[in-house]
Structure 1
């Protein structure tokens, strides 16, 4: 099998992101992983809803993973709603009550608590939709032509 076709096992956070993405599709949202809204931040999952809603979902696979995340509050200004995605073994009482909560595994998810809505300003929404579209297009091109697309970050 060619090296660019080797399937690597998913890490725990990636499994959560996959389940979240599958569940969000049932709500007519599309999602991308590892989007950079601004320098120094990288969200695990960004979802775009049918009415232009922008959600950020941070996937946490363990207590240590959550406690080492010092940047999550910086994500709030880049979305309409913010969620944590965790598995059934995660100590959910660690998560702030004023954030959304999604219970997920590698195959599906369930929204347990909606994150409070804080609507983006129109200019910020436009920027995020553009970033989302470009990120999705780059990922799609990389999937079609991995050797070529790698040279263009």
Structure 2
């Protein structure tokens, strides 16, 4: 009988996020998991944007979380407003060192560190149209599957698909 040797999986980092942003994203993903959501990070959307975290629950609810690691990061990037078209709820996630008052009241707010997170403000619900939900679910599923394939076959032809 052959033995299966398991090795730890190392997920590649794409290098665009600061260390703080990576830790906030990790803690936020843990919070979302505790609420029944699965997450895909850096998900390309049909609009051409790339969402920091897209979360999907068993009922098909879709949340997008935009990670902001500093005041400068928030001020430099206003494309987050486009994300509302792709989710049922929109949140910001940030570190405890970033002042909460800079974030808009019409989005949820999460404060996170590397180990967990807390929802400071719930996001308003704006239900997606059925066609948009289906499109987002397919995008989510394909990205997650391709990323798993790429981990199992690191030298495969996955390129920008992941």
Q: What SS class does the counterpart of residue 115 from structure 2 fall into?
A: coil
**Map 1:1-153 → 2, pairs under 5 A:** 11-151=19-159, 153=161
What TM-score comes out, normalization by structure 1 length? 0.90
C-alpha separation between the residues in 2 aligned to 1:39 and 1:98? 21
**1:148 aligned counterpart, secondary structure:** coil
Shift, 1:67, TM fit = 0.4
Q: CA deviation at 1:39?
A: 3.8
1:57-94 Cα deviation digits (max 9, x unpaired):
00000011000112010000100000000011011110
* Structure 1: runs of 5 or more not aligned: none
Where in structure 2 are there 5+ consecutive unaligned residues? 1-8
Contact kept, 8 Å, 2:24 with 2:94, in 1: the verdict is yes
Paired residue for 2:3? none
Matches of 1:27 and 1:5 in 2, distance apart? Answer: 25
Separation in 1, partners of 2:132, 2:11 = 38
For normalisation by structure 2, the TM-score amounts to: 0.85
Separation of aligned partners in 2, 1:149 and 1:111: 39
Q: Distance in 2 between matches of 1:31 and 1:83?
A: 14
Alpha-carbon spacing, 1:145–1:64, altered in 2? closer, same or farther (3 Å): same
Deviation at 1:151, TM superposition (A): 3.5
* Alpha carbons of structure 1 residues 5 and 43: separation in structure 2 relative to 1, 3 Å: closer
- Rg larger in structure: 2
